[in-house]
Amino acid sequence: MNFLTALVTFENLHEVRRLCHWGPVIALTVIAVCSSMAILDSIIWYWPLDTTGGSFNFIMLINWSVLILYNYFNAMFVGPGYIPLGWKPEKEEDTKYLQFCRMCQGYKAPRSHHCRKCNRCVMKMDHHCPWINNCCGHQNHAYFTSFLLLAPLGCSHAAFIFIMTMYTQLYERISFGWSTVKIDMSAVRRFQPIMPFSVPAFAATLFALGLALGTTIAVGMLFFIQMKVILRNKTSVEAWIEEKAKDRIQYYQTGEEFIFPYDLGRRWENFKQVFTWSGSPEGDGIQWPIHAKCHQHTLTIEQLKQKADKRVRSIQYRVVEDYNGACCPLSKGLNTFFRTPCTEEPRIAGARLRGWFPRRCVEKCHYDTAVTSAMTSETSSEEKKVK
């Protein structure tokens, strides 16, 4: 298995620390609760050694659990694939089409983005998923999407077992009155199961049913979102970039025609870029198959245009009060807790500092300080020449 290979390699042993995070703890707890309760309830409801149907039901239940855990751990430990530190393209002239990452001290390859959590530039980054405590990207996209498919299927099967167990166990214990419904858990059933179905067992089954149904709905929606972008050979980040590209062209009326470069035109071809029989995705994570009317840097050039447009439309603020970065700044007044923060962009005081600050600590500049400073320097240089 790929994730076992990653774990036994000495330099990758630190990857085990990814389990020590609230996301994997919650995800594995939900899997453990639903799987264990489904196995116990299937023994109560449909003893697997008596009939062929019971055996098939039990085998499928074990199969779901194994497949879910296999794809989950592969998505976590195989990882998305990272751009090498200090990477630059083979052709020096291609650097003008790429963004430079100051954190990795290298250029961002096409389709790669820097992840703040992983602190690396990720190949074909889709998003950072807290449930696997890792990024979803080039190398683990298929495993992650398979997990999103298998988890709702397994939970649906488990939910069916929970419902049938409660129905069969409570059917002979429920009595209906004119205005009441009584459940006698102490009543002796006609056919006693191997394991008793007591009040704690009923409560645990009901709780597991809620987890299974919630997981089916939530993770099922994520699966359809992922398949929507995969069939167009996009990522969630690239879908957002494409939307901004269309807005930019419409706003400035440039007359450009933006064609997403990685959509190969056919859904099956796009599907095969992620899902393969070997489990390893197509490509090396740097060079990509592209549309006939595009080239390798079509999307990166559009990103540079959007960055330039963002700088033009940015608003500058001047600091008027000191702020120490406290989470609960009581000294800045109660309005701080009811108003949105001013920014979390990494352009505070010219340094790459991320965070937020209360609005009362700054005031909006009514002029462009960059342009003003440039004009001032030009004026002073001309004065020196005159003197």
**The dihedral formed by the CA atoms of 155, 156, 161 and 166, expressed in degrees to the nearest 10:** 100
- 345 to each of 118, 310, 311, 316, 356, how far by Cα in Å? 18, 12, 12, 12, 8
Distance CA 33, CA 214 (A): 13
Give 185's DSSP letter: T
**The dihedral formed by the CA atoms of 126, 131, 134 and 140, expressed in degrees to the nearest 10:** -60
Backbone angles phi, psi at 277, to 5 degrees: -65, -30
* Identified catalytic residue from 129, 135, 136, 155: 129
Burial category of 94 from C-beta neighbours within 10 Å (exposed 0-12, middle 13-18, buried 19 and up): middle
Burial category of 35 from C-beta neighbours within 10 Å (exposed 0-12, middle 13-18, buried 19 and up): buried
221: tokens are 């929606």
- 326 to each of 322, 332, 336, how far by Cα in Å? 11, 10, 12
Strand (E) or helix (H) holding 162: helix 141-170
Catalytic site includes residue 328: no
Chain centroid to CA 330: how far? 34
The residues, any chain, with a CB within 8 Å of residue 105's CB and separated by 6 or more, are 85, 86
Distance CA 149, CA 162 (A): 20
Would you say 168 and 205 are in contact if contact means Cβ atoms under 8 Å apart? Answer: no
Burial category of 243 from C-beta neighbours within 10 Å (exposed 0-12, middle 13-18, buried 19 and up): exposed
Would you say 58 and 79 are in contact if contact means Cβ atoms under 8 Å apart? Answer: no
Q: Which residues are known to be catalytic? A: 129
